[in-house]
Structure 1
Amino acid sequence: MKRVTALLIAAVAGAGLLTGTATAAQRVDWKACGDKDLDAAGAQCAEVAVPLDYRQPRGRAITVAISRLKATDPGQRRGIMLSNPGGPGGPGLGLMLEVRARMSPDVQARYDLIGMDPRGIGRSTPVNCDWPVGNMLRSAGLDRAAFERNARLEAELARRCADTQGETIRHITTRNTARDMDLIRAALGEPKISYLGYSYGTYLGSVYTQLFPHRSDRIVLDSAVDSKRYPGEMIQDMGPANEQALDDWANWAAGQHAEYRLGRTGKQVRALVEDLIRQAARQPIRIGDFRVDEHVLPMVLFDGLADVRENAEFAGSIRQLADAAAGKTVRPNQALERVLGMHYLKYPQAQQSGMAALMCGDASSRRNPERYWRDIQRSRTRQPVFGPMANNLNACAFWAPPVEPPVIVRNPVPALIVQATGDTRTVYDSGVDLHRAMSGSRLVTLQDVRTHSVFGFYPNTCVENAVNTYLRDGLLPGRDLTCRGD
């Protein structure tokens, strides 16, 4: 068993837990990444040894994989910028390849851009619980029998993680990932880190600022998570946001009735969608290699509503599902094939037990199924499609208690928070609340746009100027800023 023999503990606080800085004498050995895109871009990769349990820093070690795109001008280099794509549980080695095109040349000149597969994910001692499904987030279904069937599955998912991963999985947490980031900083010989995080990655980034405020340099948090509502209430917040998004999309689709034949009014389109769920409850809809049931179909809808630019593609997917429900032989389009393949484990990377490890290990969840059932029933009137998803129990209800309490972020560390008002995953109010909790931050609002993850993913000159100015000069806007769609 490998051990971290090169750690020099610099600060220990609270019941013997390591919460301060660790420096590493370990040598970081950069080499080719073995990934076509990263290697073509000239990136290098390395592994950094970190303690599995920071309370036992000389105990078992695991490795965290990182990538590096060097600053383009060593004379202007400021330091390193770590990153996280969200998830929770998203691999991030290649994230900066996607994002750097929207970074101005002088920002690219200043930073070594560091991608990272967080602990338990991708190349970083990955969690694999041998699940029979891809994702623990599912809809409860239409009736009590469906709810109980799903609850049994969620209990089975938690049991498999406990059986296959043992104590290891209890240390796959955001708090420990933030500690890993600080150890990476030390191993690279840097006094501070800058950071760019999306979605769940904003929680990770804000947790880092809470644990290591004096090591935090320029912090950008895009599509932000409110630490007080993560993870359970964060999911509940998705219900109303996605119902509104469904109405917006349905009105759009009604205007395209000649092409998609989903209904001439928004109400008719919504009625068709709700009827598809009822049909899937009576008998799963066969489409291609998949049988889509009432637990997964709302997740397909959730995926399709994330970005307004996907309206047409999503309408095509719903048309295909409606045709399949009518008994036609249908091969799913690329978007539908992708989302169903993730839920039904068609792809090797589809199993999301790493997400469960983080969400369930970060904070305790309610245990009593009756409380979930009552919340689901109360939600059905106003949230007929997404209430049974957003209020449903998941594997966390059957998980072992967290090793440490959740991190509640409240600090004056400067940061730039970017949030779209139409975000269906991390709702707008969560960005507002994180802005209040981080008193040194500024909020950039992308007004009246339905999208999730903005900088580098949703082109917007106003947002890009604000982010690039801050990363280049360290200058936050003088006041909160509202951007409109280009």
Structure 2
Amino acid sequence: MNKSPRKSLRTNTVPKPGARRATTAVLLALSASAAALVVPGPAFARASPGATAAVPPIRWGACPEAEPPYPAPSPKAQCATVKVPLDWSKPKGPKVGIFVARYRATDPARRIGVLMSNPGGPGAPGSDDALYADDPVSGYTPAMLQRFDMIGFDPRGIGRSQNAECDESIADSAPTRPRNAVEFERMRILNGQLADSCLKRTGPLAAHMDGESVARDMDAIRAALGESRISFLGHSYGTFLGERYARLFPGRLRALALDSAMDPSRPDAERYLTDGSVTIDNTLKRLAAWCEKDAACALKGKGLLKGKDLTAVTDELFARADAGTLRDPGPNGPTRTKVDADKLSDFLTFALGKGSPEATAEQLAALYTGKGEVNWVPTGTDSASRLVLCRDYDFRIRDYAQYLAIRKRAAQAAPHVRYNAQSLDTVLGCQGWTMPPKPGPVQAKGDLPPVLVANATHDLATPLPGARRMANSFPKASLFTMDVVGHWLYRRGGTEKAMRAIDTYLTNPEGRPEN
């Protein structure tokens, strides 16, 4: 999943290229806890496996102009809207428009077919993949542009696809790290009010932004394109959409490449948090090994290790935070602002996840000495993510006591960082959500092509254990890994090796010699 600061769901401009690559004071009675678990959500019925509503052929036209400062999309891109059922269990009911963009193959004689993609988020507009397909930095390689029609789309409720809207002021007032049972219940009730505001401002669409519905939209786009099969490239949460599509429409996939894979096995809150937390703890150990050998490590250069490794330094920082003696550093020494253990865990998650050892070591040295600067990252998760993830996964926690027990066990598994802040943000954002988790679809009959899953070994957003489960969920799948820190391998630069591997697979998924 991509991490980004909380923002309004309103997106009326074409985003800039690169977005596709690349990033939450009244006490309430405790008696509300029982009610919070049984708040009724919108009813839903199962759509038939493999069912796709009749869709007319796409009528392509010019793409909307981008508003400054965003650059204009490629002049070769074409745009259209595909109408799909708002509720797929009622195919003849109200419709919603899905914004679709296309960049046609530049060598029609060697065209393989359609490559549909999704950049994840959830909540990121996906039409960029086609609108900026030929961008020299964030686009596809010329060889890929020759062979495929690139198809990008804004998922329902996102961007130009009838954007969902919620009352973000409610999210801003909810506790992000509840410290007691009263705060935990206050957070749940406010989360429920936020969900209700999404339904009030957006309408029924807010209850139908789950991965299964989007996967069915993808097949409607396929049908409107007149294609019998598609290839699909999903990044981050987009890998979950690819997995859902494979469950529903296995025979309509030519190739399926999943970059930085979500866990498809519907983990509960504890496993989701623990997998992410262990990943961050292991990344800290990796940083410690680098710091021991490299003079560029600020802790080593300033003589602060004194025979200790970097994990011992963070253990000491946590001890000071627990004692209330850790302070935010300043240019001339410690300030009067306390840094508690939660704030320290939040910092470690996002500093380690960026993969810049020099910058992380410099900031740890600042925390340790009290002199310097730390880049604090706001916690919380945006409403778009909740509208999707709280329906696709079941992260519900019974009460504050269970929450504390989960936090304790996660900290035991990851003692030097305690938890993964992004994973915890997601889990807490779903507590009290009034639109309940939706059951996963049954597996439709049909043969799947070989699948390629790619993942970094140190990925804070989509940890490697989840990628392994993703690969194991398919009868024929390969797992490509790179021993790097970061999220999203399909890009030029340090992980271009993964990009080449994915392109090779997409061009020839069966690995047969080309004519």
Residues 179, 192 of structure 1: alpha-carbon distance in 2 compared, 3 angstrom cutoff: same
Partner of residue 9, structure 1 = none
**Residue equivalent to 1:400:** 434
Residue 240 of structure 1 corresponds to: 278
Picking from 499, 504, 507, the partner of 1:469 is 504
Structure 1 unaligned spans of 5+: 1-13, 345-350, 479-486
Check whether the contact 1:224–1:434 (CA below 8 A) recurs between aligned residues: yes
Q: Give the aligned partner of residue 22 of structure 1.
A: 53
Residue 454 (structure 1) shift: 1.0
The answer to whether structure 1 residue 119 and structure 2 residue 149 are counterparts is no
Deviation at 1:317, TM superposition (A): 5.0
Contact 1:82 1:194 in 2 (8 A): yes
1:431 aligns with 2:478: no
- Structure 2 length-normalised TM: 0.73
Q: Report the CA distance shift for 1:295/1:64 in structure 2 as closer, same or farther (over 3 A).
A: farther
Aligned counterpart, 2:396: 366
2:165 is the counterpart of 1:131:
no
Give 1:362 deviation, angstroms.
1.6
Equivalent position SS for 2:79: strand
Q: Match for 1:195 among 232, 235, 245?
A: 232
Contact preservation (8 Å) 1:50, 1:64: yes
2:415 is the counterpart of 1:381: no
Code of the aligned partner of 2:352: L
Query: CA 1:15/1:224 → structure 2, altered by over 3 Å: closer, same or farther?
Result: closer
Question: Are the aligned partners of 1:363 and 1:406 in contact in 2 as well (CA < 8 Å)?
Answer: no
Other-structure match for 1:71? 105
Contact 1:223 1:419 in 2 (8 A): yes
Partner of 1:305: 352
- Corresponding position: 1:355 with 2:374: no
- The one-letter code sitting in structure 1 at the alignment partner of 2:389 is M
* RMSD of aligned residue pairs (Cα, Å): 3.9
Equivalent residue pairs, number:
443
How far off is 1:196 after superposition? 0.8
* Residues 453 and 106 of structure 1: CA distance in aligned 2, closer, same or farther (over 3 Å): same
User: Aligned-pair distance for 1:270?
Assistant: 1.6
Residues 32-67 of structure 1, C-alpha deviation per residue, up to 9 Å, x if partnerless?
A: 232343525643333322222112223222222222
- Which amino acid in the other structure matches residue 282 of structure 2? Q
For 2:266 and 2:363, the matched residues in 1 are separated by 32
1:484 is matched with none
- Distance (whole Å) between structure 2 residues aligned to residue 388 and residue 398 of structure 1: 21
Residue by residue over 1:241-290, the C-alpha shift from the partner in whole angstroms, topping out at 9 and shown as x without a partner, is: 111112322443564126985942313542465368558899889999x9
* Amino acid corresponding to residue 455 of structure 2 in structure 1: Q
The one-character-per-residue Cα deviations of 1:226-248 (angstroms, maximum 9, x if unpaired) are 31135743343101111111232
- The residue number in structure 1 matching 2:298 is 257
Contact 2:299/2:365 (<8 A) preserved: no
Give a deviation string over 1:173-230, Cα, whole Å, max 9, x none. Answer: 0000001111111222222221111122111111101101111112111122231135
Amino acid of the structure 2 residue aligned with 1:383: A
Contact residue 456 and residue 481 of structure 2 kept, 8 A: yes
In structure 2, the CA distance between the partners of 1:462 and 1:151, relative to structure 1 (3 Å rule), is same
Using the TM superposition, name which of 387-396 and 191-200 deviates more. 387-396
> Equivalent residues in 2 for 1:89-104 (5 A)?
89-95=123-129, 97=132, 103-104=140-141
**Contact preservation (8 Å) 2:420, 2:460:** no
CA offset digits 1:414-468 (Å, max 9, x no partner): 211112222232222222222222112222222x322221122553454333222
Please give the residue correspondences for 1:177-192 in structure 2 after superposition, counting only pairs within 5 Å: 177-192=214-229
- 2:494 counterpart residue number: 459
Q: Distance in 2 between matches of 1:120 and 1:220?
A: 24
Aligned-residue sequence identity (percent) comes to 27
Contact 1:280–1:294 under 8 Å retained in 2: no
For residues 503 and 434 of structure 2, the distance between their equivalents in structure 1, rounded to whole angstroms, comes to 42
In 1, distance between residues paired with 2:350 and 2:471? 27
Contact 2:191 2:433 (C-alpha < 8 Å) held by counterparts: no
Q: Following the alignment from structure 2 to structure 1, what is the Cα–Cα distance between the partners of residues 475 and 206?
A: 34
Write the distance in 1 (CA, Å) between the matches of 2:152 and 2:339. 35
Match of 2:18 in 1: none
Change in CA separation of 1:134 and 1:451 when aligned onto 2, cut-off 3 Å: farther
Partner AA of 2:148 in structure 1: Y
Q: CA deviation at 1:18?
A: 6.8
Partner residue of 2:241 out of 201, 204, 212: 204
Give the counterpart letter for 1:475 in structure 2.
E
**Stretch moving more, 180-189 or 121-130:** 121-130
Higher helix share: 1
Say whether the 8 Å CA contact 1:85–1:199 is kept in structure 2.
yes
Please, which of 142, 153, 159 is the counterpart of residue 105 of structure 1?
142
Instruction: State the distance in 2 between where 1:396 and 1:387 align.
Output: 17
The structure-2 alpha-carbon separation of the partners of 1:16 and 1:359, relative to structure 1 and needing over 3 Å to count, comes to: closer
8 Å contact from structure 1 (residues 18, 55) kept in 2? no
Aligned partners of 1:356 and 1:395 also within 8 Å: yes
Superposed CA deviations along residues 312-336 of structure 1, whole A, max 9, x for unmatched, are 344455566678xx598x6x7xxx4
Q: CA deviation at 1:80?
A: 1.8
Question: CA separation in 1, counterparts of 2:338 and 2:164?
Answer: 27
Query: What amino acid maps onto 1:25 in structure 2?
Result: P
> Matches of 1:282 and 1:195 in 2, distance apart?
48
Change (3 A) 1:283 1:130: farther
User: Does 1:86 pair with 2:132?
Assistant: no
